[in-house]
Each structure stands twice: as C-alpha cells, then as structure tokens.
Structure 1
Amino acid sequence: MERPMIDPVNGHPRKWQILAIMCTCLILVVAGVSSLNIAIPSIIEDLNPSSTETLWIVDAYALVFAGLLLPAGAIGDRYGRKGALLTGLGLFAAGAIWSSYAGDPTMLIIARGSMGIGAALVMPATLSILVHVFPVSERAKAIAVWSGFAGAGGAIGIIGGGALLEVFWWGSVFFINVPIAAVAALLIALLVPTSRDPEIRPLDPIGSVLSIIGLGALVFGIIEGGEAGWGSGLAVGAFIAAAVFLFGFVRYELRVEYPMLDPRLFRHRPFALGSLTITVSFLVMFGFFFIITQYFQFGQGHSPLSAGVRMLPFALSMIVVAPQAPRLAQVLGKRGAIAVGLGVQALGFTVLRFVGLDTSYLIVVVAMILLATGMATLMPAGSEAIVSSLPPSKAGVGSAVNDTTREVGGALGIAVLGTLLASGYRNTIEDSTGDLAPEAAELAEDGIGGAFRVAEQTGAVELIDPAREAFIDGMSLAFSVAVLIGLVAIAIILIGYPRKGAEPPPMEDAVIRA
C-alpha cells in the first residue's frame, strides 16, 4: 500500500535522517570500487593475478554496476524504490561474502561482478528517494550532500580498507560491508517511505542486454588493447563489437515504444552535458584512486593503513566543499560551476603529473585538495542538471542516468588510465629485464607487483628501483592524459552549455518515453 502524499512544501518529516541513511548506502557502493584499490598489492601477493586480471578484478564490479543501473532504476520506479534498495543491499552483502573468500583471480572477478548487481539496485534508489522526500526548495542542498558523499566515499573506502588490512586479510575490505548493509537495511525498513512511478510501463530487457554487451566490449577492448596491442585482432574485434552493439542499442531505443533510455533525452543540452560532466569527472577520479594507492604502497613503501590515511585530505575536502557548491552554482550558474570544477580538477592532475618517488607528501596533499575541490564543485551542478531536466515522476530514470554516467566513467577511467599506467611502465622496465630468464622477465614487465615478486623470488633486488621509476613514468603518462581530458571537457561545456538564465525548462513528461 502506498503511503500518503508527502508535503510538497516541507517534504518528509524525517527527510534529514533519510538523507543520512541514503548517504550510508551510497558510501557502501562507491567504496566497493575504491576499497579494493588499497587491497590490490595484497591480492597480487596472495592470488598472483596478471596485470590484465588485476584491472578486471577492479572493473568487473564497475562494469556490471554501470550496465544494470538503467534497468535497475526502471525496476525501482515500477515496483517501488524502497523494495529495490532493500533487495540491492541483500545482493550486495551476499556478493561481498563471496568476494571475501574467493580463492583465485577468476573467482574474484565473478564475485565482484555479482556485487555490481546489488549496487545497481541500491544507487539509483538512494537519489530518487531523496528527490521524493525533499521539497524543491531543499532538493539542491540534499543532492549536494549526496554528491559530496558520492565523491568522498571513494576516499573513505580507501582509508577504511587500509585500516582493515593492517589487522585482517584482504577479503576483509569486502566482508566489512555485510554488517553495515544489515544496519542500513533495518533503518530503511523502519524510516524510509515507499515511492514509485504512478505510471506503470513495461521493462526493456533487450535494451538492457544491448547496453551491457556494448559497454562490456568497450572496456574489454581498452584493457586488452593495452596488453595485446591496439592493433591486435582481440582489441579491434572488441571495439567493432562495442560499436555494433551500442549503435544497435541507440537504434532499438529510438524505435521501441517504452525504451529503457530514450536517446532523445540527450537533445536537452543540460541533460546531455550534465551527463558528460559526471562521466568525465569520475573517469579521471577512479583512475586516480587506482593509481595513487599503488604509488603509496609500491612506489613509496607505505603500509595499507598508512596509504589509506594519506587519502584523508581528499575525503575531508569533498565533505567540506560539496555542501557549499550550490551557492557557487547560484552565482555562476551550472555552466560556470561545472567549468570551474573541471578546471580545478585539471590543475590537480597537472601537479600530480610531476610527482616522483621522492616528492614531498605535502605536494600530493595540495593535488588531492585541488582534485576534491574541483569534483565537489562540479558534481552537484552536474547531477542537478540531469535530475532537474526530468519531471518528478521520472526520478528513477534521472537518478539512474546520473549514476550510470558515474559508473561508466569509473569503469572507463580504470581501464583507460590503468592501461596507460601499464603501457608507460612496460615501455620503461623493458630496459632492465634483459638479464632475467624469459619467464621472470615477462612477470616483471607485467606490472610493478610482478617485478617485486621476481626480486623476492630470485634475489634480483636491483630490479626494484627501476620498477619504481618505470611506475612513475606510467603514472605521469596517465595523469597527463587526465589533464587533457579535463581541458577538452571544459571547452565542450563553455561552448555547449547554456549560460545562466538561458537554460531551457525541464522536459515535459509527455515527451519522455522512459
């Protein structure tokens, strides 16, 4: 049975408690990517994955997460967002238990993908519930807080994961989600109202399959291209498959009566460019998390806890700046806030571009503060541009698109920047492996973790310093590309996003097909 209508002026009487619960759920699913990053060295030591398997261990979660977000948002709209949220938490916790005890890289990749199914149900429900319980006058502030924790959740996951690894095995970074999910589910059952789209429409399973295969092929091509070569048959075939399935997805969605995501939505410039903003910001940020945790541990020799604590400036900056971002958007407009945020973020990556093995931690802190400040500035404006482009009855679709852009960006960021890191590393380390046996040379060239294993197993300690220098070369290459991506995004926003006061009104419900 549906609850009584919520007061449109004051919102739900427990809206702030509900916001806290939604942010807790959000941290769980966002930290599901980042907490793994801090455990990568431990997993490499225990399970011996290749560099390609390492990328897939991280990306399997983000890829399934991204591919299912749109249908999961539609399921929440149709059957109830509270039920979708509770179901998602249960599946997420089950996948976390499985991941905790995976005995080999393949099993861990599959288990991580299962966690992505639950996360896909959780994340869109959190934002659409907030849109439902907050009045229009307070919605931007609530979304800003939600956005702050969406960004800070990545750093919180790294910090918490580092603390756990100081005492427990690498699987603890997954298992810790189980009790948190249980408490969150209890609070949701007691405090959160149910809501759904008043207009019931069919689901779109064919569109879901086409989008998942297309995105999967794209990420596969990026990861395998870096390993086997961009001109290899495997990479080229994957990119062709991605183009075919994604083109087929667009064509199908344009023709079906009730599409999962109507491509016509992207004719609305705030919706399209808000989506681009979130995709780009999470692309570079998830790539940053993947690289910087290895820099602290492999490059500088810090323990997981020490590496995690070193991420505190990022998390604190996100939490402090994000709630203030709507004020900047009121002054500059969404266009200005997004451009400023992307610019500050690019400046942070410029600083990181010149970081070396002996660089002072204070320099890295400055870079992290710039990254977090930029992201906290642009995220609320980007999310608001997406959500406010749609009517309230399509809150699930709007939040799912917003979340999908995050996870697509994150999956691509890990693949793109992770592949650039591996390529830069490999190009440099090859000069130092000539005297090794072929098997040892191959292992050392596969990644810095492999080089450390070779040094330990063969006593070739002279390999460690070249491996660290090679890692820095790969890191510099990856962060240079992150700067370029940010600058291109700024140009697109300044050219294409409507100026303050000239933004078009939200799309009418009658013209939205999903």
Structure 2
Amino acid sequence: MSGVSRTEVTGRVGRHRPDPRAWPLLLVVVCAQMLIWLDTSVLNVAVTTLADPSEGLGASPAQLEWVASAYTLVFAGALFAGGALADRFGPRSTLLAGLFLFGAASAAGAFAPSADWLVVARAFMGAGSALLMPATLSVIVQCTPPERRARAIAIWSSSSALGVAVGPVVGGVLLSHFWWGAVFLVNVPIVAVCAVGTAAVVPALRGSGQRVLDLPGLALSVLGLSGVVYGVVELGNGQSWYGAHVLLPVAVGAALLAAFVAVQRRSPAPGLDLRLFRRPGFTAGSVVLLISFGALAGHLFYAAFYLQGPRGLSPADAGLVMIAAAVGIVLGSQASPTLSRRLSARWTVTVGVLITALTYVGYLWFDQGTPIPVVVALLFAQGFGMGSVGTPVTTAMMSAVPQQLAGAGSAVNSVTRQVGGTLGVALAGSVLSAVYRDRMAHTALPGEAQGLSAEAARQARGSAEAARSLAGSLRLPELSAAADRAFLAAMDAATFWTAVVALAGAVVAAVGLRAREVQDANSVGRKVD
C-alpha cells in the first residue's frame, strides 16, 4: 500500500526487529473494539430500570425493544460504509471519527429526556460502532507483521468476549450506585482514553488516495442492509412473518442490495470489491461466521431468560454465570493459532462449530433443577468452541484481501457477525414466543376459575415474564410454575433449531474451507485476482 512508510518498515523488519509500539497499538484497538460489545451487553441489565417511571424513563416494551434494535439496525446497515471510509481516508482517521461519534452519542444518551430520544442516541452510537469495528481490524492487518498477525487477530477476536462478560457486571454495579444514565456515560472516559491512545501510537495510515468514494454504492448498502435488518427485528418483535412490517422492508432491502451488487460490479472504484468472493475460503468463511454467530446469539438470548426465569437468578448473578462463555471464547481464541497449525484451519473451525452444536443439544435436558455448575461447564465449552472458530476464519478471510481493501474485507467480516447475531436473536425469539404462546393457549391458567381477568390472562399467555409478574402480585405461584413449564418447552424447540443451524455451519466449514489459501491460517498477503 503506497504512502504507508511505517507499516512497510514494520512489515519488512518485523521478523528481526519487533516494533516497540506493537503491544500498545494492539491494546488501543482492542479497547476500542471492546467498547462495541460492552455497550451491547451493559444494556441487558438496564432495561428494567429504564421501564420504571420514577427511577428511569417509563419506557414502554416497544420503546425498550427499539432502544436495543436501533443500535443493531444502524450498526449492521452502516458497516460496509465504515469499511469503505476506512479504505478511502485511512483506518486511523476513521477510528478517531468513530470514537468521537460514539462518545458524543453516549453522553447524549445518558441525559436523554425521554425513551424516544434515547432511541435516537442509540442509533448514533450504532453509527459510531460501524466506523470503529472495520477500522480496528484494518489497523491490525496493516500494522502487524505476517508472523504475528494470527495472534493479534486472536486477541482482537477475544476482546468481544471481554466486552460481553464485563458489560452485565459493570451495569449492575453502576445501577446499584448511580442513576440509569451511568451505563451510557461510562463510555465517555473509555472513549477519551482510546482517542488519546490512537493519536499517540496508531500510525497515520493513509487510505488509497487514488480511489473515489462510491457514494451511490454506500447509500445502497446502508439502505439495503437497514431494510433487511429492520424486517428481521420486526419478526423478532412478534410480527407474523407474512405481515407487511416484515415482508415489505425485507423485500425492499433485498432489492436495494441487489442493486448495490450491480453497481459494485460496474464501478471502477467499488466500496465492496466483489472479487473478494472469488476466493472460496473467503465466501465459506463469511457463511460460517454468519451461521455460528447467529446460533451463538440466539442461544445466549434464551439462556439469559432461562437463568433469570425458571432458575430465579438476578441479572447480576446471571451475568456472572454467563462469564463462563466469555472465558471460554478468550481461551479458545488464544489456542486457535496453535490448533490451526496442528489440525489446519479447516478442521479447527469444523471441530469448534461441532463443539458449540453439542452444547446446544445439551440444553434439551435442562430443567429447573439442572445444577448451575453443569450450566457453567456447557457455557465454557460453548465459548471455547466459538473462540476456536472466529480467529482462524477471520485470518483465512483476511489473507485473501489486499491491504488497500483491508477495510472492505474487515467490514464483510464484521457485517456477517452482526447480521448473523441479529438473525439469531430474532429467529430464536420468534420460536420461543410462538411455542410459549401455543403451550399457554392450551393450558387452563391457575386463577381463571377465581376471576382472573381476561386482560391478565392475555398478558400471562403473551410472555413468561408477564406471567411471573402477575403471579407475584396476585399471589398465584401455580401461574408462575405453569409459565416456567411452557418456557422450558419453548426453549427446547429453540434449542433444537439452534443446534440444527450450528451443525449446518460445521458442514459448510468442512466442505467450503478446503481451498488451498486456508490450509495455513497464518498465511497472509495474497492478492485478489
């Protein structure tokens, strides 16, 4: 890549004279990457407070859904744009811009006067994250010597687990001592530290100045992905799959993405170089990431409800239990380069996906009496398997990407994770809700014979959380028990389909990752034909 003298020097002498800034640089981009996942997970423990009219904003259930969904919607929709901007203006500049936008939106969200304004602030936070994620991976790809790149990507991948693990714990502590806005305001000092570190240690990597920014392509990608993700979010919010709220945005989004592909094929300077997908390893890796992250996100979604519902754990205690998965991801990510050298990337990824699929199957035997250590062990195994997938797949995908398109390649990698996670939560949530409602519809609710109102019965049949709340206020423990039985049946159905999806990902890994360029996950620098 022309004009990047520091990177070129690092690449030429990396084997003999390690750059003393390598670890500080990696620390900065890992902290920036962790911010994205910290913000995603910290919200999980704050929704109850946000719904409180005295201690929070009095947010309705629909508003709470959009507080979470607005972030994901903009994040996934703008990732291709973030990657293209990193390639055009350089990852350092894009990283600083993303940090500024994320920090400003976090501060605005902390002092939002209403739930609607918080939704707007969360959308801008998603836009900041869309600039951050491709830029962090692009910095690693361009500034890390080939022989240390797999290890650097492993650390980068495991930072997401740290954010997921730390988020619920940090959120619980902040809500115990401060007002609800503290869970967003905590981002501001972290952003400030990352910005100072970026200015100090990240080299001024220039983008490909000869390339023209493809504004029509960027607009089509943002609008197209936003339409598809919006439809998926609506599906997860309980809309029927054949309703206009789901089919119309998905159809429009798909049409815009098709137009985006057509524009990119004709553009002399495409934001997404479609030649990347000529590499079977890049295409298969994208599909594996989409499937595996979708299965993982869907599973963690209903696992959190299981721990806080039938098991009766507090959000903070449930967060502590689920740290086991994050620890497993960190250790799996660190072990994956060694496993890839011994088994090949293909079999490391395949075995990792199989391990996660088996842990999902284990949930078919879960009930209200399953020992918590068993849950912890399965979460750890699931995390370790997932950690052994992300790093070799990412390294193999990026090995096919020329440096001048590192931002676009990392954007594809990031988009597949985010879209997969969104699909996984939406589909798992839909199965969970549908089966629960079906079971409760055929169950005589305790209290109906004693005058339980029709509205209360409708709420109890709508969600297990509403049923438990009514059971507590009306002193009907039998109603809570009925809701728990229906939820466990629904979790079994969601678990079955999650395991099926994960097994399909293992097949894709075994068949699709046979291409020569992914036999050694540490190989880098191959050019696109």
Both proteins in one fold, TM over 0.5: yes
Amino acid at match of 2:76: A
Deviation at 1:406, TM superposition (A): 1.4
Is 1:163–1:308's contact at 8 Å kept on the other side of the alignment? Answer: no
Deviation at 1:461, TM superposition (A): 5.2
Amino acid at match of 2:261: V
Amino acid at match of 1:68: A
1:267 aligns with 2:278: yes
The 1-side partners of 2:59 and 2:461 are apart by: 13
1:328 aligns with 2:339: yes
Q: Please list the CA deviations of residues 201-227 of structure 1 after superposition, one character each: whole Å capped at 9, or x if unmatched.
A: 122232233223333332333343452
Deviation at 1:292, TM superposition (A): 2.6
Is 2:400–2:527's contact at 8 Å kept on the other side of the alignment? Answer: no
**Cα distance change on mapping 1:260 and 1:432 into 2, 3 Å:** farther
SS in structure 1 of the partner of residue 495 of structure 2: helix
Match 2:46 to one of 26, 39, 44? 39
1:468 aligns with 2:484: yes
Deviation at 1:328, TM superposition (A): 0.8
Is 2:307–2:313's contact at 8 Å kept on the other side of the alignment? Answer: yes
SS in structure 2 of the partner of residue 6 of structure 1: helix
Match 1:100 to one of 96, 110, 118? 110
Q: Which residue of 2 aligns with 1:210?
A: 220
Match 1:19 to one of 7, 16, 26? 26
Q: Give the stretch that moved more between structures: 102-111 or 192-201.
A: 102-111
Q: CA RMSD in A?
A: 2.7
Is 2:76–2:229's contact at 8 Å kept on the other side of the alignment? Answer: no
Deviation at 1:350, TM superposition (A): 1.1
The 2-side partners of 1:102 and 1:502 are apart by: 47
Q: Which residue of 2 aligns with 1:437?
A: 453
* Residues 400-415 of structure 1: pairs in structure 2 closer than 5 A: 400-415=411-426
Deviation at 1:441, TM superposition (A): 3.6
1:250 aligns with 2:261: yes
Match 2:9 to one of 6, 10, 15? 6
1:317 aligns with 2:320: no
1:423 aligns with 2:430: no
SS in structure 2 of the partner of residue 260 of structure 1: coil
Is 1:31–1:157's contact at 8 Å kept on the other side of the alignment? Answer: yes
Amino acid at match of 2:10: D
Deviation at 1:289, TM superposition (A): 3.2
Q: Please list the CA deviations of residues 325-383 of structure 1 after superposition, one character each: whole Å capped at 9, or x if unmatched.
A: 11111122111111011101111111123322222111211210121111110111110
**Cα distance change on mapping 1:346 and 1:93 into 2, 3 Å:** same
The normalised TM-score by structure 2 is 0.88
SS in structure 2 of the partner of residue 150 of structure 1: helix
Deviation at 1:506, TM superposition (A): 7.3
Amino acid at match of 1:183: V
Is 2:399–2:526's contact at 8 Å kept on the other side of the alignment? Answer: no
1:281 aligns with 2:297: no
Match 1:296 to one of 270, 283, 307? 307
**Cα distance change on mapping 1:367 and 1:460 into 2, 3 Å:** same
1:239 aligns with 2:247: no
Match 2:85 to one of 50, 75, 88? 75
Q: Which residue of 1 aligns with 2:466?
A: 450
The 1-side partners of 2:364 and 2:70 are apart by: 28
1:384 aligns with 2:388: no
Match 2:210 to one of 200, 204, 224? 200
* Residues 340-359 of structure 1: pairs in structure 2 closer than 5 A: 340-359=351-370
**Cα distance change on mapping 1:202 and 1:509 into 2, 3 Å:** farther
SS in structure 2 of the partner of residue 299 of structure 1: coil
Q: Which residue of 2 aligns with 1:28?
A: 35
Q: Give the stretch that moved more between structures: 386-395 or 290-299.
A: 290-299
The 2-side partners of 1:352 and 1:42 are apart by: 30
Q: Give the stretch that moved more between structures: 103-112 or 245-254.
A: 103-112
Is 2:432–2:494's contact at 8 Å kept on the other side of the alignment? Answer: yes
SS in structure 1 of the partner of residue 434 of structure 2: helix
The 2-side partners of 1:257 and 1:370 are apart by: 46
**Cα distance change on mapping 1:406 and 1:174 into 2, 3 Å:** same
The 1-side partners of 2:118 and 2:438 are apart by: 29
Q: Which residue of 2 aligns with 1:174?
A: 184
Deviation at 1:69, TM superposition (A): 1.4
Amino acid at match of 2:232: I
Q: Which residue of 1 aligns with 2:317?
A: 306
1:153 aligns with 2:163: yes
**Cα distance change on mapping 1:283 and 1:51 into 2, 3 Å:** farther
Amino acid at match of 1:66: A
Amino acid at match of 1:328: L
Q: Please list the CA deviations of residues 199-254 of structure 1 after superposition, one character each: whole Å capped at 9, or x if unmatched.
A: 43122232233223333332333343452322333333233223322222222222
Q: Give the stretch that moved more between structures: 327-336 or 453-462.
A: 453-462
Deviation at 1:384, TM superposition (A): 0.6
Amino acid at match of 2:483: A
Deviation at 1:118, TM superposition (A): 0.7
Is 2:51–2:59's contact at 8 Å kept on the other side of the alignment? Answer: yes
**Cα distance change on mapping 1:235 and 1:81 into 2, 3 Å:** closer
The 2-side partners of 1:172 and 1:311 are apart by: 23
5+ residue gaps in structure 1?
none
Q: Please list the CA deviations of residues 169-194 of structure 1 after superposition, one character each: whole Å capped at 9, or x if unmatched.
A: 44433222111111121122222212
Amino acid at match of 2:144: F
- What is the count of residue pairs matched by the alignment? 511
Amino acid at match of 2:80: L
Is 1:69–1:124's contact at 8 Å kept on the other side of the alignment? Answer: yes
Q: Which residue of 1 aligns with 2:409?
A: 398
**Cα distance change on mapping 1:468 and 1:166 into 2, 3 Å:** farther
The 2-side partners of 1:51 and 1:472 are apart by: 23
The 2-side partners of 1:25 and 1:415 are apart by: 27
The 2-side partners of 1:344 and 1:228 are apart by: 33
5+ residue gaps in structure 2?
none
Q: Give the stretch that moved more between structures: 407-416 or 119-128.
A: 407-416
The 1-side partners of 2:224 and 2:364 are apart by: 32
Deviation at 1:496, TM superposition (A): 2.3
SS in structure 1 of the partner of residue 10 of structure 2: coil
Amino acid at match of 2:513: Y
